[in-house]
Amino acid sequence: MALQELRHKTRDVSVRLYRDGKGEPLVFLHGAAGPPPWGPFFQTLAGRHDVLVPEHPGFGLSDNPPWLRNVGDAAMYYLDFLDGLGGAPLHLVGHSLGGWIAAELAMRNGARLKTLTLMSPAGLRVKGVASGDNFIWSLEETARNLFHDQAFAERMLAHVPSDEEADIALTNRFSATKLGWEPRWFNPALERWLHRIVAPTLVLWGRDDKFLPSAYAKRWGECVPNARVEIIPDCGHLPHVEKADSAAQKILAFIGGQK
């Protein structure tokens, strides 16, 4: 199967959906910058799974429903979204903001989840370990702070966005602000309720993450009952970009190990 770009409707909300591959469904919830480019990470996953990457409501070309006010709303929306995919068990993977949404979804109702993978998720606070202030960073600081290997940052900075890309980046920045500005990238209730996650959970983190420090991974490991924590060396906040093969292989191995 080739990569498809689709419109997908759940109740009154139409979103953009990328889909490729065959096998048990794997839903990927993207971070604050929107769906990542379809590269080796997704291609590897699509070798074994029916990979679905929805663009969150309020992001990119998806609808922006007025009722979406916080991450809890996004989590409830994705429960509806999963119901709309039929009854089969599935694998949920979330990165950063998407990891936060995935965790909030899983602690509300994990009945559909065969596994949960949280890649450098937002959502928890570790007192004394500040997250990076992505809202004050310039474009250059953002690029530099997202990656361990600065060659990735150079490529990101060298890219001149088209008008459409710039508009989408701004749309995403607005929605990320709505969801993540205050309290900054966390929900204080999470620590109280993450014990409700029943799915086997993989927490993946880049050791050199300058946005959400890898020290947070330990806290996630303590809060989620069946969690395995893996730290990826020489990697920043985007393991699926900077260590695409290794991140995808770890996820596949984790999923495979649960059968």
Partner 1 sequence: MRFTFFHLMPYRPLDMTERHKHRAGWVVLPNSLYDPKKGADEYQAYIDQLVYAEELGFDVIGVNEHHQTAYGLMPAPNLIASALIQRTKKAKIAILGRALPLVNNPVYIAEEFAMLDNLSKGRIITGFVRGIGNEYHASGLNPFFSHERYQEAHDLIVAAWTRPGPFSFEGEHFNLRYVNLWPRPYQQPHPPIWIPSMGSSETIKWAAAPERKYPFLVTFSGRDLVARYLNMYREQAKQYGYEASGDQLGWASPVYVADTDERARAEAKAGIETLFNDFLAVPWEMLLPPGYMSLSSMKNTMKMRKALGTRARHSMEELIESGTVVVGSPQTVRDQLARLRDATGANNLVTMLQFGVLPDDLTKRNMEMFASEVMPQLR
Closest among 231, 145, 136 to 184, alpha carbons compared: 136
Window contacting partner 1 (CB under 8 A); options: 73-81, 93-101, 132-140, 228-236: 132-140
Q: Round to whole Å and give the CA distance between 77 and 245.
A: 30
Nearer to partner 1, 64 or 249 (CB): 64
Nearer to partner 1, 2 or 136 (CB): 136
Site for partner 1 in 160-179 (CB under 8 A): 163, 166-167, 170-171, 173-174, 176-178
CB 170 → partner 1: shortest distance, Å?
A: 6
DSSP 103-152: HHHHHH--TTEEEEEEES--B--BTTBPPP-TTT--HHHHHHHH-SSHHH
- E-only strand ranges, 39-79: 49-54
Tell me if 157 contacts partner 1 by CB under 8 A. Answer: no
Closest CA to 45 of 258, 237, 257, 251: 251
* Measured distance CA(13)–CA(90) in Å, rounded: 22
Between 4 and 138, name the residue whose CB sits nearer to partner 1: 138
| Nearest approach, Cβ of residue 166 and partner 1 (Å) | 7
SS3 195: helix
For the bound state, the minimum distance from the C-beta of residue 46 to partner 1, rounded and expressed in Å, comes to 33
Contact call for residues 118 and 203 (beta carbons, < 8 A): yes
Contact string (CB under 8 A) for partner 1, positions 182-201, x = contact: x-x-----------------
Task: Say whether residue 158 binds partner 1 (CB under 8 A).
Answer: no
Select 22 or 159, whichever has its Cβ closest to partner 1: 159
Task: Confirm or reject binding of residue 181 to partner 1 (CB under 8 A).
Answer: yes
List beta partners, residue 95.
119
* Residue number, 136 or 158, with CB nearest to partner 1: 136
Q: Which two tokens stand for residue 169?
A: 């980046």
Residue 192: CB atoms within 10 A of its CB come to 11
The yes or no reply on residue 67 touching partner 1 (CB under 8 A) is no
Q: Which residues bind partner 1 (CB under 8 A)?
A: 135-138, 163, 166-167, 170-171, 173-174, 176-178, 181-182, 184
